[in-house]
Structure 1
Amino acid sequence: MSVIKVLKSLAVVAAVAVPASAQAQSVEEFYAGKTVSLYIGYSVGGGYDTYARVIASHLGKHIPGNPTIVPTNMPGAGSLRLANWLYEAAPKDGTAIGTVARAAPFEPLLENEAASFNAAEFNYIGNANTEYSLCAANADAGIANIDDLRSKELLVGGTGAASDPNKQANIANAALGTNMTIIDGYPGGNDITLAMERGEVMGRCGWSWSTIKATKWDMIEQGQVNLLLQFANTPHPDLADVPLVAELADTDEQRAMLNFIVAPQEMGRPYIAPPGVPQDRVDALRQAFMDTMADPEFLAAATEAGLEITPSSGETLQEIVASVFATDPAIIAKVIEATN
């Protein structure tokens, strides 16, 4: 037998020996008939949960192969439990994605030992809205403005050191001289709000305006809470009378500390996939997310649920993470001191 014939024979044998699963598979072929789990780092009923469930009901039709999207709650440690699981243990094939606290990717910068991940290695999929976070007090707490908040103690609920409720309260205390005491251990923001209604705590920070409008608008209409501070780069059109935290700072150092907390607000409620997901599937998930954000049926459902939709792409989130990681280490040290 000639050398050419031998080589052809070997090629045929090799082709037969390679299993079908090892051959190239398109994104559509991979996702067809699959279930994608969308994990939520907080408890049922809060803003993260509400957004995720509306998104889950529409996202699948925009992913090639139209997989079923199943939302699943995995609360704990201000969503760090979920972030760690996505990084360390979740399937890395594109069948597991999650939504975590907008500040969670920056916990390694703050030397949080509970954050066992490299944030730069996550695959950021997108977010549905830029956030405007607030510190608020029950009206019967007798705290109506920044002066009151500096002179009187306010018991506020917390969901873990990595979460916005905790970090915003701690940084406001350090940079603005406010007097908030954190009562920690609530599974999610919704649980803090219920605790406010029961009188267990008298306020909270890290309360998204979009969440208030979607789930607790009655508290605003009935004058049950006072909105005290706004963590954002520019004021929300609805909140022109609520001061931006940066406007209340006296020094550049204070402003830089506050900016470290404010900068991630554009992260909104980020959706991430684990490291190692094939790039074509990451690209497909990113495109599907942005297509969902423009889907008239999704937008109608979001409007009905009272959700604001001002999306950012996965690529934009990746850039934000990189920019925050470039913060002056001296400022990070001040933030660590304030939040520990």
Structure 2
Amino acid sequence: MRAWKSILAGAAMTAAALTAASPGVAQDQSVEDLYSGNTLTILIGHPPGGSYDLYAQLAAAHFGQFLPGEPNVIVQHMPGGGGRRAAAYFHNNTEPDGLTVAILPDTLAHIQLLTPEQADWDAAKFRYIGRFAPANSAFAIGPTAPIDSAEEMKDTQVVVACTGKAARSAQMPALLKNLLGYDLRLICGYKGSAASKLATIRGEVDMFSQNWASFAANDQADMDSGDLRIIMQAGLERDPDIPEVPLLQELTDDEEAQRILRFASSAAPIGRPMMAVPGTPENVIAALREAFQEMVTDPAFLEDAERRGAIIIPATGEEVETINEEIVSASPELIEATRSAMDASDAEETQNPGEGSGD
């Protein structure tokens, strides 16, 4: 298990910076001319302090030197709706000129398929530049939790913190409640994973979830002390850092439940990706992809990633687009079964939401 310490720093710019250039600029210039003397913005849909910010700040420190023209690189935070606000802005209001990229939720296709009323984008049109790492979610219990393993939730009630009823932090536990009959009481309204973590350690709730990369970067001391214990994870393969921790679909022998749990977890290989605006010229996409792959194999970058606690298991943009295409091609029957199983409408609301900082 990695014990790297993260050094996270927030950098905020106004939303107006995201639309600085016209869509025709990249078509008429060389990529070097496009970036020379300009600023590349990395948009994220979460506040400072979580895994999105971790990778964005890491990229901001290194990405520019690998791009023709060596632009300055900044980070723009646009939190809201678990990343949905930024995703909609990126898709609909950002010029496809190559001067804005994004690190947005791996679940954009799932959101569109399962809760289309919340998705103001077409997930099939997003262009992927590359992936920093997969994004298995991990579920941690606190020091006062009445259980020691996931299987015990069949017979013992566990109180789960979540940010919102439509958030993955609620939907994934709801799958276990609705498919496997686990005795879970969901309390939503916490302002980010940091607030959920604090509530778990204090004993206000028993369990919360976030991206494993956030645990690895920020919570090693709490895991070492036993204040946080990882008991299950969501993904298609066990994360190599926690190979002893079961996947959700491994908690049941029911084939239909396994099928739904696998589909609900199938965005984990998309992970923490860097994305380009739909319509970005192909020469710019190619340059961004080449620069990304050079960056994630650069020794100085990898040393900085280790220092910050950022897990790096990269994939190419082409590989990530293939995964995304497989998700968006899911059958209507599977989509409907998953939508029904992840219903968290009976979740309660917390009276102590805490301070916002995010996954």
Same fold (TM over 0.5): yes
Select which of 102, 106, 119 maps to 1:102: 106
Tell me the residue number matched to 2:243: 240
Sort the Cα spacing of 1:115 and 1:61 in 2 relative to 1 into closer, same or farther, 3 A. same
Partner of 2:79: 75
1:161 Cα offset (Å)? 4.8
TM-score, normalisation: structure 2: 0.83
Would the alpha carbon gap of residues 22 and 337 (structure 1) be closer, same or farther in structure 2, given more than 3 Å must change? closer
The DSSP-based 3-state class of the residue aligned with 2:117 is coil
* Amino acid paired to 1:298: F
Q: Does 1:210 align with 2:209?
A: no
Aligned residues: 320
Structure with a larger share of its residues in helix? 1
Aligned residue among 328, 332, 354 for 1:329: 332
Q: Secondary structure at the match of 2:263?
A: helix
Q: Are positions 1:263 and 2:266 aligned together?
A: yes
What is the CA–CA distance in structure 2 between the aligned matches of 1:23 and 1:92, rounded to whole Å? 10
Equivalent runs, 1:31-70 vs 2, <5 Å:
31-70=35-74
Aligned AA (1:99):
I
Cα distance change of structure 1 residues 162 and 294 upon mapping to structure 2, 3 Å threshold: farther
- Equivalent residue, structure 1, for 2:253: 250
Question: Contact 2:124 / 2:328 at 8 angstroms: preserved in 1?
Answer: no
Higher relative contact order (CA 8 A, sep 6+): 2
Which of 153, 171, 174 aligns to 1:170? It is 174
- Structure 1 letter corresponding to 2:246: P
Q: CA RMSD in A?
A: 2.0
Kindly tell me: are residues 162 and 48 of structure 1, through their superposed partners in 2, closer, same or farther at Cα, counting changes over 3 Å?
A: farther
Rounded Cα–Cα distance in structure 2 between residues aligned with 1:111 and 1:304: 38
Residue of structure 1 in register with 2:276 after alignment? 273
5+ residue gaps, structure 1, are: 1-19
Decide whether the 8 Å contact of 1:232 with 1:265 is kept in 2.
yes
Compute the displacement of 1:88 (Å). Answer: 0.8
Paired with 1:277 and 1:23, the residues of 2 have a C-alpha distance of: 9
Deviation at 1:123, TM superposition (A): 1.2
- Structure 1 residues 84 and 186, CA, compared in 2 at 3 Å: closer, same or farther? farther
Equivalent pair of 1:38/1:70 in contact (CA under 8 Å) = yes
Aligned partner of 1:312 in structure 2 is 315
- 1:295-310 to structure 2, matched below 5 A, reads 295-310=298-313
In structure 1, what residue type is equivalent to 2:250?
E
Q: 2:163 is matched with which residue: 148, 159, 164?
A: 159
- In our comparison, the structure showing a higher alpha carbon Rg is 1
For 1:302, the aligned partner's letter is A
Contact 1:103–1:162 (Cα < 8 Å) also in 2: no
Change (3 A) 1:21 1:106: closer
Cross-structure match for 1:85:
89
Provide closer, same or farther for how the CA distance between residues 242 and 249 of structure 1 changes in structure 2, counting only shifts above 3 A: same
After the TM superposition, list the runs of 4 or more consecutive aligned residues in structure 1 that deviate by more than 4 angstroms. Answer: 20-23
User: Within 2, Cα distance between the matches of 1:25 and 1:326?
Assistant: 36
